[in-house]
């Protein structure tokens, strides 16, 4: 393991560096009005009972008669309803997978550490823009911190993310566990939230597709798939025993053979392609991030 099991995932100076990067990235000379960045200042993509008139549409049974557009109704001779653009306060919810397969790494850091780095950077950038930030840790047990404004609330979430990640044994029924987790996100988060999912998605199966599609309908979802270099290409270390963190049987492989390494690389690439196709079918934005990548600002600017 790269990190000592009882140490925080990130040192204090690393967190400070990410906070400074977020500050530089979001510092722009934009003129602000006195009352700028109050609740409701951001228009939602969804229509509802807001304050800003959006359009008039034909009346359908069940519509609230209080929203009748009498002027348009009189002019066209058919009942019309006023619709409004729903106001919302912007919210970002971060999900960091701390499961057994994420507690692995051979280049610079663990997968869960890379996920935490990106979550910390994204959270600091969001708080700079007065965005409420929430956090879910998929752990044992899971932990959910609902969205809060301000630096103090965000620093509490950062402290939760930094908790040490010792190796974990796999549990039975992992796929069902992930279904429950996705259902919790679907039911607990406000519609229209931005959702950042950070995981290796080793648990992903066809069972999860309906819920992922439902999340994409309700939220602006970005799924970041994290991998380690040794997963993508086995190093040549001779005969070695490999244990599956997700609970599969241990296997001996002769990594000194080029054919063995090529077969492993092909199988891993095929699995990652399947995951990406699943995301596309479900309507999720998605990208890949290696553990060894240091520059996260470029990624945030590109996919924000």
pLDDT bracket for residue 223 (50, 70, 90) = very high
192 vs 190: CA distance, rounded Å: 6
Output Rg (C-alpha) for the chain, integer angstroms: 23
Is residue 47 classed as helix, strand or coil in its secondary structure? strand
Helix (H, G, I), strand (E, B) or coil at 5: coil
What integer pLDDT is reported at residue 47 of this predicted model?
41
Tell me the pLDDT band of 254, cut-offs 50, 70 and 90.
confident
Position 39 scores a pLDDT of 44
What backbone phi and psi angles, to 5 degrees, belong to 64? -75, 120
Q: Do residues 200 and 227 touch, judged by C-beta distance below 8 A?
A: yes
The beta strand positions in 76-207, using DSSP E, are 80-88, 91-97, 132-138, 143-148, 194-199
pLDDT tens across 16-74, in order?
999 999 988 766 444 444 334 444 444 444 444 445 566 788 887 777 788 889 988 99
Average confidence (pLDDT) over 172-186? 84
Dihedrals phi, psi of 229, to nearest 5 degrees: -60, -35
Structure tokens at 293: 């990548």
CATH 3.40.50.410 in the chain: give the residue spans.
12-27+89-303
Structural fold of domain 12-27+89-303: Rossmann fold (3.40.50)
* Each residue's pLDDT tens digit, 142-176: 999 999 988 888 999 999 999 999 887 776 556 67
Residue 5, pLDDT above cutoff 50 = yes
CB atoms within 10 A of CB 292: 14
Pairing between strand 251-254 and 239-242?
antiparallel
Distance of CA 250 to the CA centre of its chain: 31
The pLDDT score that the predictor gives to residue 63 is 77
Measured CA to CA, the distance from residue 52 to residue 39 in angstroms comes to 14
Mean pLDDT to the nearest integer, 67-88 = 81
Provide the whole-model pTM.
0.78
Q: How far apart are CA 299 and CA 304, in angstroms?
A: 7
- 254: number of Cβ within 10 Å: 13
SS3 string, 16-68, reads HHHHHHHHHHHCCCCCCCCCCCCCCCEEEEEEECCCEEEEEEECCCCCCHHHE
Look at residue 88 in the predicted model and tell me its pLDDT.
56
pLDDT digit string, tens, across residues 103-136: 999 988 999 999 999 999 999 999 988 899 999 9
Q: Which of 101, 97, 115 is nearest to 290 (CA)?
A: 115
| Alpha carbon of residue 88 to chain centroid | 20
Instruction: Find where tokens 């025993």 sit.
Output: 241
Query: Both tokens of residue 148?
Result: 């809060």
Q: Residue 82: pLDDT above 90?
A: no
Q: What is the pLDDT of residues 262-299, one digit of tens each?
A: 999 999 999 999 999 999 999 999 999 999 999 998 88
**Comparison of pLDDT for 25 and 197, the residue scoring more:** 197
């Amino acid at each position: 393991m790269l990190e000592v099991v009882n140490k925080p995932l990130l040192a204090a100076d690393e967190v400070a560096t990410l906070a400074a990067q977020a500050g530089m990235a979001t510092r722009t000379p934009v003129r602000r009005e006195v009352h700028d960045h109050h609740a409701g200042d951001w228009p939602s993509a969804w229509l509802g009972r807001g304050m800003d008139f959006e359009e008039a549409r034909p009346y359908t049974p069940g519509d609230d008669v209080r929203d009748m557009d009498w002027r348009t109704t009189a002019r066209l001779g058919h009942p019309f309803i006023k619709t409004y653009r729903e106001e919302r306060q912007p919210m970002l919810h971060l999900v960091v997978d701390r499961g057994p397969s994420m507690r692995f790494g051979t280049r610079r850091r663990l997968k869960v550490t890379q996920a935490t780095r990106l979550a910390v950077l994204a959270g600091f950038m969001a708080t700079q823009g007065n965005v409420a930030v929430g956090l879910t840790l998929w752990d044992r047990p899971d932990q959910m911190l609902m969205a809060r404004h301000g630096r103090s609330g965000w620093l509490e979430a950062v402290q939760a993310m930094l908790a040490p990640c010792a190796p974990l044994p796999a549990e039975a029924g992992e796929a069902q566990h992930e279904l429950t987790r996705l259902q919790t996100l679907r039911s607990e988060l406000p519609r229209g939230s931005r959702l950042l999912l950070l995981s290796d998605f080793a648990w992903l199966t066809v069972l999860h597709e309906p819920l992922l599609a439902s999340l994409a309908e309700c939220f602006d979802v970005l799924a970041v798939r994290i991998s380690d270099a040794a997963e993508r290409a086995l190093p040549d270390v001779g005969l070695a025993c490999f244990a599956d963190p997700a609970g599969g049987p241990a296997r001996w492989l002769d990594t000194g053979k080029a054919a063995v390494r090529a077969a492993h690389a092909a199988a891993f690439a095929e699995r990652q392609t399947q995951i990406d196709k699943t995301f596309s079918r479900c309507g999720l934005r998605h990208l890949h991030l290696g553990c060894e990548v240091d520059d996260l600002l470029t990624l945030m600017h590109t996919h924000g």
